[in-house]
Chain A
Amino acid sequence: MAKVLIIAEHDGRSLSPATAKTVQGAHGLAADVIDVVVFGDALDAIAQDAAKLAGVTCVRVVEDASLAPALASRLAPEVVALSEGYTHILAPSTTFGRDLLPRVAGLLGCNQVSDVMEVVDARTFKRPIYAGNAIVTVRVPDAISPVLATVRTASFAAAAASGSAKVEAASAQAQDPGHTEYVGAEGSSGEGPDLSSATVVVSGGRAMGSSENFELIGSLAKKLGAAVGASRAAVDAGYVPNELQVGQTGKIIAPDLYIAVGISGAIQHLTGIKDAGTIVAINKDPDAPIFEVADLGLVGDLFQLLPELEDAL
């Protein structure tokens, strides 16, 4: 029977919503045990959040100053040390999980299933390949244990915060390899909702023309209580920072409402939004590929339409 270990993602202050979605993904494994492990320093609040996730059996808390901020080369051997007895080890398919879990797989000498979008059974999964242009069903042979997988967070709702799992402290067991050091980070101002988990997202593309013009997107987003996103072209042009990029190499998101403004709709971008509830496209080119996937399309000049839309709300 399945015994699952989920590696929690957090930023040192709160548990990432990606963790709750990974737990939801694990529900499809018909597991007897779903444990969540949290690595870091001063983890009380984060561990309590993890303990509330529906279906979680036990939260294992590994506190050590050397485990924060998270570095894959430091965490991977800790995961291996805890892996004994588990049939599955899961992590969210975020930059955190995608950095860490393949290193764990390397240490364990096994392959990993990337970006699980559907759990067929405990050993069979569906995942996107070719930027989402094909879906492959992958089966992990019975001889391979544990099964390692990253979970595509856009494919699963967050597990409800209705549980009350026990919380257990564990000690760090592995050595710091000492060859990798955290230097620093720079990130978004933290204004508005988080792009990865927002229910409404307004994104701008290259047609915005400048970072000043991109304020139109920010302003509309604010009015809608939405997160701001961007196409790769807009990020490459320097209008907005990289963490706003939506698409194959940016964030894969599933908001209820996605408004794409001045985005032509390259397949790499569409990959990032195909799970959105309703897609609205505003573009002056009626032949833009974005209209092929949009539920509601409006053809016209965005510089005229955006202020009009904001006024109408």
Chain B
Amino acid sequence: MKILVTLKRVVDYNVRVRVKNDGSGVETDGVKMSINPFDEIALEEAIRIKERGEADEIVVVSIGPDASQQQLRTGLAMGADRAILLETDQWVQPLTAAQALLNVVEAETPDLVLMGKQAIDDDCSQTGQMLSALWGRPQATFASKIVFNDRRAEVTREVDAGLETIAVELPAVMTVDLRLNEPRFVKLPEIMKAKKKPLDSKPLAELGLSADQDFEMVAFEPPPQRGGGKTVESVAELVDELKTRGLL
């Protein structure tokens, strides 16, 4: 089995993102960048599948600026075999990302595409579903457990009501949730070895995709702040406050 894993370069999840004063975007200069944490879980899962002997090749793919090579190198150090970068400095919206990934899928013919359930920058949670629609293949979103049985996979999904299990035929697209696994740390020797693994970069523009479905980002603003609260000293005082506010 061949697995394609997407890795998006995003602002690290520990960074408290700030909106620029002029409302033109969010401050990303000098901010720590990382692999989208959900994508990292997707890659970890691919590596575990390969370590179990159920896959023989893992290809990581990213769409983003040239600096995304850092995240792809980290992915190679974790255990991916090859990397592909579709390089662009534009903010890529989900449909374009899905169309670009379809292009890669058609060239690479993977049995499985593993992706994060959402990227923690735009929080769209669309690209995996769009890719599976464009590809005409099954989707299994928000996966917390994946079991293979020949050309079929049973996927347990985290849904609002609890857990749901569906079975999909391969090839398929799966988007992963937090509890699927805990990604490994990369060790220094692997980082050194990863420098020799192949990384192909080409401009996203070469695919000739149109951006005519793109939305316009009109303005960015900070979220409304909740007013400062007060500290109560005892349970009795808390209960009084709640009664005063008509909440009890």
Contacts and interface: CB of A to CB of B under 8 A. Distances in A.
Interface stretch (A22-30, A49-57, A58-66, A135-143): A135-143
A193 interface: no
B84 interface: no
A257 interface: yes
B235 A186 contact: no
B238 A278 contact: no
A254 B118 CA distance: 22
B121 A129 contact: yes
A106 B131 contact: yes
B88 interface: no
A309 B162 contact: no
B133 A103 contact: yes
B169 to A, nearest CB: 4
Contacts, number: 252
A139 B232 CA distance: 44
Nearest to A93: B125
B241 A106 contact: no
A140 B215 contact: yes
Nearest to A188: B162
B12 to A, nearest CB: 11
Nearest to A148: B126
B48 interface: no
Given A106-B130, A140-B215, A251-B160, A312 B239 contact: yes
B147 to A, nearest CB: 11
Nearest to B172: A179
Contacts of A85: none
Nearest to B245: A278
Interface string B140-163: 111010000000001001111111
Residues of B contacting A: mostly = mixed
Interface in A114-159: 114-115, 124, 128-141, 143-144
Contacts of A241: 162-163
Contacts of B177: 249
A48 B231 CA distance: 47
Most buried by A among B26, B131, B160, B239: B160
Contacts of A144: 213, 215
A183 B165 contact: yes
Given A132-B223, A242-B144, A305-B235, A138 B162 contact: no
A105 B166 CA distance: 22
B29 interface: no
A141 B210 CA distance: 15
B165 A134 contact: no
Interface string B219-244: 11111001111111111101101100
Interface residues of B, number: 84
Q: Which of the four size classes fits the interface of chain A?
A: 35 or more
A134 B247 contact: no
B173 to A, nearest CB: 10
A251 B230 CA distance: 26
Nearest to A244: B162
Given A98-B141, A129-B123, A196 B160 contact: yes
Contact of B129 (A103, A113, A248, A294): A103
A96 interface: yes
A109 B211 CA distance: 11
B218 interface: yes
22 contacts: A99-B141, A102-B127, A102-B133, A110-B213, A111-B94, A111-B95, A112-B126, A133-B18, A134-B17, A134-B19, A135-B222, A136-B218, A144-B213, A177-B138, A183-B166, A196-B160, A295-B229, A295-B230, A296-B242, A298-B234, A298-B235, A305-B235
Interface of A: 11, 71-73, 76, 94-96, 98-100, 102-107, 109-115, 124, 128-141, 143-144, 177, 179-188, 196, 200, 232, 235-236, 241-243, 248-249, 251, 256-257, 267-268, 274, 277-280, 291-299, 305, 308-309, 312-313
3 A-B pairs closest in CB distance: A106-B133, A187-B162, A102-B129
Given A98-B125, A131-B120, A298-B235, 7 more contacts: A102-B126, A134-B221, A141-B215, A187-B163, A236-B179, A293-B226, A295-B229
